[in-house]
Amino acid sequence: STMNTSVSNHSLHNHSSSNNFFSSIGRVVLAHRRIVILIWVIVFLAGGFAASRVVNRLSYNFATPGQPGYVASQKILQHFGNGGQNAPAITVIAGVDSSNSSTVGAALEAVAKQYPSIRFVDSFNAPGLDLLRHGNEVVYLFTGPPTSLAPSSLPNQITAALAHDLPSLHVALTGETELAAAGKSSGLGVLAETIVAGVGALAILAFVFASVLAVIPLVIAAVSILATFLILLGLSYVTQVSFVVEFLVSLIGLGIAIDYSLLIVTRWREERGNGLANRDAILMSMATAGRSVALSGVTVGVGLLALIVLPVPLLRSTGIGGVLIPIISITVVLTLLPVLLSLIGERLDWPHRRIARSGSPSWHRIGEIITGHAWPSLIIAGGLVIVFALPVLGIRLGQDQATSQSSSTPASVAYHSLLGTGYTAGILTPLEVISSPAKAAHIDTILHTVPGIVASALPAGRSGTRTGLADTIAIPNVETVNSATFAPVNAVTSLAKHDPSIIGVSGLGANDLDSAHAIYGQTPLMLAVIAILTFILLSTALKSIVLAIKAVVVNLFSLAATFGILTWFWQSGHLSRLVFGIPATGAITFWIPISIFAFLFGLSMDYEVFILTRIREEYGTFGSTRTAIVNGLSRTGKLVTSAAIILFLAFASLASAPLTDIRVLATGLGIGILVDATIIRGIAVPALIQLFGRTNWWMPTWWSEFGNKQTTT
């Protein structure tokens, strides 16, 4: 204890006497406490106002600008006002025969006049599509672009009107969007999800601190979240802000702000337990844990570059919103938290059960076991990672299959009735092939020769031709929603490249193919850039080439394990039905893996930074790798575990959202955090550091000198 106290005092002297940027921040905010609190109170109140306004300004744009399917979709919307990249709704009229066919046709004509914004395609205006089979009439309802997560209400209204006009026939509504939305509850809502996660986080914090001090990280998180919403409101007037950002800011923002607060408050308590005065303990925490927080936030930001540079508005705005989370959390933590600790920290640290000066005894023992049995520990951790990662070899990218939806909903019943009467699954995902009206007959003819296309036709009248553009409908033999079912889409788009009479190809399948190209076309280069930036950042901060390389490589293994579990959980359906009551999705939506990579790459680096910076600090004091690992784990093991559980609770709360895609995203992030904080950072990382020995600390002289300059400025 005496040695630890002297070390802490010596370290404080060094940090205080040098021009340490983070301790300087501490001095400034402590000297202007009233101003700091006033500023953040104003931001908090303004953020509360902004949070209620930004929801109405969120974008539901799934565009992929510059991609051929999107360009064709925009032409269709320009000429027809509907259709394009969204799959049509489908009204199914059962019981149609020669005795009532004219009545059905008259009812469709009347409803079409009542809803001029909707394009109707049926067996009456497009007999070549073979939409009437065994008494089932399929009516395509092409609608405009979505304006919310909920499907358009117009198809329901049209279906109800037809049911009213055709009382002797059974009329039902189905379609890709309707199947995805059917049977889904409204969920808790973002506010309720955040409150639930906050309550869970408070319970973890109460266990960690065993004092009322547990409320301070929640206060920091509340200020950070509302401050982020305030900036998002301003950004919404400059650029699109995706609806996904609302969930991420509330729940990931909650977890990150609490994690960063937890790191500094834990270090503050440790220094107070070592005998430092309150102000000195705050400055010491800022100089050490504050630096780790800043480094962690930057690594999160680097990972999110993967989203910002993509030519997809949905993901770009998600990346921008994601970057705001660590930036604002760092700002609040480094300015408001020191002030709160100076004003009320000691009073809230009741009943004064401070962390033992030697760290966590449990994690001290774990550190000794791992360092004493490094090879067995690494083999166990590596074996688990490989087993978890294996399913990723069969991952499919795309949207949920119709068969993954509940089979008991009206939309699903209607869809399965179509399959039972001879329709192909591709009835849900027709392609739209556009041309000049003069070339439409030629295109219809050649589409009949394309492999995977079972029917095609140009609808008569305004349903197929408007303002000089013809829109020929083609039905594939499969539901074209993922990488395993794109063959018909590829065949038609390949035809379009060689036939100048085809202006473009659109539809859900073409849009999904666009998404695959836009998101993953430059992935190898993007991953390389992010890995290099992270390596430079960590090697400079940790003063070690080896530790930086290890961190990047280990992170990739951690991500592989996460994607493997996600594939097994959702795509194969081994746990999706048990946990969420949802059958196997058959694929993982395109934007989800890259989003998980972007967030998880940075979030998992948080824990790497927390652990390695402390191990590096202990090595600088004692000069022993094993002692540094054991002491570092004893100081950070409980912290990292608690932080991971808090983030997991946030993701578990996010998984209560009614949208399957959000649930898949939340599941991936939650699983990834647990795997990373336990198997990777808790076992593999300390085992590797022990095996590397003195090699861990190798650094070229010129780079080391550069790093020293950066540290002192």
Per-residue pLDDT tens over the stretch 499-540 = 999 999 999 999 888 888 888 877 787 788 888 888 888 888
Is pLDDT above 80 for 180?
Answer: no
> Which range scores top for mean pLDDT: 48-52, 304-308, 603-607, 704-708?
48-52
Mean pLDDT of 11-18: 41
| Integer angstrom CA distances of residue 465 from 120, 447, 461, 505 | 12, 18, 6, 15
- What residue numbers bound the domain in which 282 lies? 1-61+210-357
Confidence of residue 373 (pLDDT cuts 50, 70, 90): very high
Q: Is residue 225 part of a domain?
A: yes
Domain tally for the chain? Answer: 1
The reported pLDDT for the residue numbered 357 is: 54
Q: Is residue 132 part of a domain?
A: no
**Among 258, 298, 313, which residue's Cα sits nearest to residue 536?**
298
683, 689, 691, 693: which is closest to 385 by C-alpha? 683
Contact 326, 297 (CB under 8 A): yes
Place of tokens 């202990």: 618
| 651 falls within a domain | no
Higher-pLDDT residue of 40, 412? 40
- pLDDT bucket at 183, cuts 50 / 70 / 90: very low
Per-residue confidence at 348, pLDDT binned at 50, 70, 90? confident
* Residues 677-696, mean pLDDT to the nearest whole number: 91
The per-residue pLDDT for range 659-673, each reduced to its tens digit, is: 788 889 999 999 999
Peptide bond into 351 cis (omega under 30): yes
Q: Is the pLDDT assigned to residue 36 strictly greater than 50?
A: yes
Q: Is residue 314 part of a domain?
A: yes
Answer whether 552's CB lies under 8 Å from 535's CB: yes
CA 254 to chain centre: 15
Domain holding 278: CATH number? 1.20.1640.10
Q: What is the mean pLDDT of the chain?
A: 86
| Residue 303 falls inside a structural domain | yes
Q: Which residues pair with 473 in a beta bridge?
A: 432, 457
How much is the average pLDDT of 558-578?
92
Q: How far is CA 422 from the centre of its chain?
A: 39
* Residue 490 phi, psi dihedral angles, 5° rounding: -60, -40
Q: What is the pLDDT of residue 149?
A: 62
Q: Are 367 and 690 in contact (CB under 8 A)?
A: no
- Tens digits of per-residue pLDDT, 127-147? 999 999 989 999 999 998 876
**Structural domain contains residue 422:** no
The rounded distance, in Å, linking the Cα atoms of 21 and 15 is: 9
Give yes or no for residue 13 having a pLDDT over 70.
no
Q: DSSP for 179-232, please give it.
A: HHHTT----S-HHHHHHHHHHHHHHHHHHHH-SGGGHHHHHHHHHHHHHHHHHH
Task: Quote the CA–CA distance of 673 and 383 in Å, as a whole number.
Answer: 18
**Average pLDDT, stretch 25-38?**
94
Distance CA 204, CA 643 (A): 9
Please enumerate in sequence order all residues whose Cβ is within 8 A of that of 354, keeping only pairs 6 or more positions apart, or say none.
Answer: 269, 270, 272, 273
| Confidence band for 285, pLDDT divided at 50, 70 and 90 | very high
- Domain membership of residue 239 (yes or no) is yes
- Res 353: pLDDT: 56
CA distance 584 to 589: 13
pLDDT of residue 347: 87
Q: Which residue from 262, 371, 426 is spatially nearest to 690, judged by alpha carbons?
A: 371
Give the DSSP H/E element, type plus range, for residue 669: helix 660-675
d(CA 323, CA 478): 39
Amino acid letter, 251: L
Give domain status of residue 436, yes or no.
Answer: no
